[in-house]
Chains A and B, each alone.
Chain A
Amino acid sequence: MPSPRYHREIPARYRLEAGKCSDCGKVLYPARKVCPACRSQEMEKVNLSPKGTVVTSTVIHVPPDEFLNEAPYAMAVVETPEGARFMTQVVDCDPATVGPGMELDLEFRLIQKEGNSGILCYGHKGVPA
Chain B
Amino acid sequence: MREVAVIGVGMTKFGELWDMSLRDLFVEAALSAIKSAGTDSIDSIYVGNMSGGQFVGQEHLGPLMADHLGLGGVPAARVESACASGGMALRSAYLEVASGMSDLVLAAGVEKMNDGADVTGVLATASDQEEEVYYGVTFPGLYAMIARAHMEKYGTTEEDLSWVSVKAHRNGAKNPHAQFRRVMSLEDVMTSSVVAEPLRLLHCSPVTDGAAAILLCPLDRASEFTDKPVKILASGAATSSLTLADRADPADLDVVELSGNRAYEMAGVTSDDIDVAEVHDCFAIAEICCCEALGFVEKGAGKDAAKNGVTDLGGKIPVNVSGGLKSKGHPVGATGIAQAVTVIEQLKGEGGEVQVEGAEIGLAQNMGGSGASSVVHIFQGV
Interface positions of A (Cβ within 8 A of B): 1, 5, 9, 30, 36, 55-67, 70, 73, 75-77, 85-89, 99-100, 111-112, 121, 123
CA distance A125 to B315 in the complex (A): 46
Residues of A within 8 A of B243 (CB): 86-87
CA distance A113 to B168 in the complex (A): 40
CA distance A87 to B137 in the complex (A): 8
List the A residue with the shortest CB-CB distance to B145: A56
The reply to whether A75 and B141 form a contact with Cβ atoms under 8 Å apart is yes
CA distance A88 to B145 in the complex (A): 12
The reply to whether B244 and A87 form a contact with Cβ atoms under 8 Å apart is yes
Interface stretch of the complex, out of B26-34, B81-89, B191-199, B265-273? B191-199
The reply to whether B148 and A100 form a contact with Cβ atoms under 8 Å apart is yes
Tell which of A5, A77, A89, A111 touches B145, judged by Cβ atoms closer than 8 Å: A77
Cβ-based interface call for B132 (8 A) = yes
CA distance A76 to B148 in the complex (A): 11
Tell which of B120, B131, B134, B246 touches A112, judged by Cβ atoms closer than 8 Å: B134
The reply to whether A36 and B241 form a contact with Cβ atoms under 8 Å apart is yes
Tell which of B131, B152, B197 touches A87, judged by Cβ atoms closer than 8 Å: B131
The reply to whether B136 and A73 form a contact with Cβ atoms under 8 Å apart is yes
The reply to whether B136 and A70 form a contact with Cβ atoms under 8 Å apart is yes
A-B contact pairs, 27 of them (CB 8 A): A5-B130, A9-B130, A30-B130, A30-B131, A56-B145, A56-B148, A56-B152, A58-B148, A58-B196, A58-B198, A58-B199, A59-B194, A59-B196, A59-B197, A60-B137, A62-B140, A65-B121, A66-B136, A67-B136, A73-B136, A75-B145, A77-B245, A87-B131, A88-B135, A99-B148, A100-B149, A123-B134
Tell which of A61, A66, A75, A99 touches B195, judged by Cβ atoms closer than 8 Å: A61
Cβ-based interface call for B301 (8 A) = no
List the A residue with the shortest CB-CB distance to B193: A61
CB distance from B202 to the nearest CB of A (A): 14
CA distance A55 to B244 in the complex (A): 11
Residues of A within 8 A of B121 (CB): 64-65
The reply to whether A111 and B136 form a contact with Cβ atoms under 8 Å apart is yes
Residues of B within 8 A of A70 (CB): 136
Cβ-based interface call for B39 (8 A) = no
- In the complex, besides A30-B130, A111-B135, 20 extra interface pairs with C-beta distance below 8 angstroms are A56-B145, A56-B146, A56-B149, A56-B244, A57-B148, A58-B199, A59-B196, A61-B196, A64-B120, A64-B121, A73-B136, A75-B135, A75-B145, A77-B145, A77-B244, A77-B250, A85-B245, A87-B244, A100-B148, A121-B134
List the B residue with the shortest CB-CB distance to A125: B135
Per the 8 Å Cβ criterion, residues 231-260 of B in contact with A are 241, 243-246, 250-251
The reply to whether A87 and B132 form a contact with Cβ atoms under 8 Å apart is yes
CA distance A5 to B133 in the complex (A): 14
The reply to whether B196 and A89 form a contact with Cβ atoms under 8 Å apart is no
Residues of B within 8 A of A55 (CB): 149, 245, 250
Residues of B within 8 A of A123 (CB): 134-135
Residues of A within 8 A of B308 (CB): none
Give the total number of A-B pairs whose CB atoms are below 8 A apart: 100
CA distance A55 to B243 in the complex (A): 14
Residues of B within 8 A of A64 (CB): 120-121, 124, 133, 136, 138
List the A residue with the shortest CB-CB distance to B194: A61
CA distance A70 to B243 in the complex (A): 23
CA distance A66 to B197 in the complex (A): 19
The reply to whether A111 and B134 form a contact with Cβ atoms under 8 Å apart is yes
A86 touching B131 in the complex, CB below 8 Å, given contacts A55-B250, A77-B244 = yes
Residues of B within 8 A of A89 (CB): 135-136
Cβ-based interface call for B144 (8 A) = yes
Residues of B within 8 A of A65 (CB): 118, 121
List the A residue with the shortest CB-CB distance to B204: A62
CA distance A88 to B241 in the complex (A): 17
Residues of B within 8 A of A77 (CB): 145, 244-245, 250
Cβ-based interface call for B129 (8 A) = yes
A61 touching B131 in the complex, CB below 8 Å, given contacts A56-B145, A87-B137 = no
A60 touching B141 in the complex, CB below 8 Å, given contacts A77-B244, A77-B250, A87-B243 = yes
CA distance A73 to B136 in the complex (A): 9
Per the 8 Å Cβ criterion, residues 108-152 of B in contact with A are 118, 120-121, 124, 129-138, 140-141, 144-146, 148-149, 152
